């Protein structure tokens, strides 16, 4: 796995976590 691919993977994971967190916070409030 190249560094670039790994960075892309982390970026996608971060986007998913961020959107999930946003949804979770909306439901919580």
Q: pLDDT for 8-20, tens place per residue?
A: 999 999 999 999 9
Higher pLDDT, 19 or 6: 19
pLDDT at residue 1 is higher than 70: no
How far apart CA 6 and CA 4 sit, in angstroms, is 5
DSSP code per residue over 1-29: --HHHHHHHHHHHHHHHHHHHHHHHHHH-
Distance of alpha carbon 6 from the chain centroid: 14
Residue with tokens 């439901």: 27
pLDDT above 70 covers what percent of the chain? 97
pTM for the full predicted model: 0.60
């Amino acid at each position: 796995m190249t560094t670039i691919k790994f960075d892309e993977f982390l970026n996608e994971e971060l986007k998913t976590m961020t959107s999930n967190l946003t949804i979770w916070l909306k439901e919580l409030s």
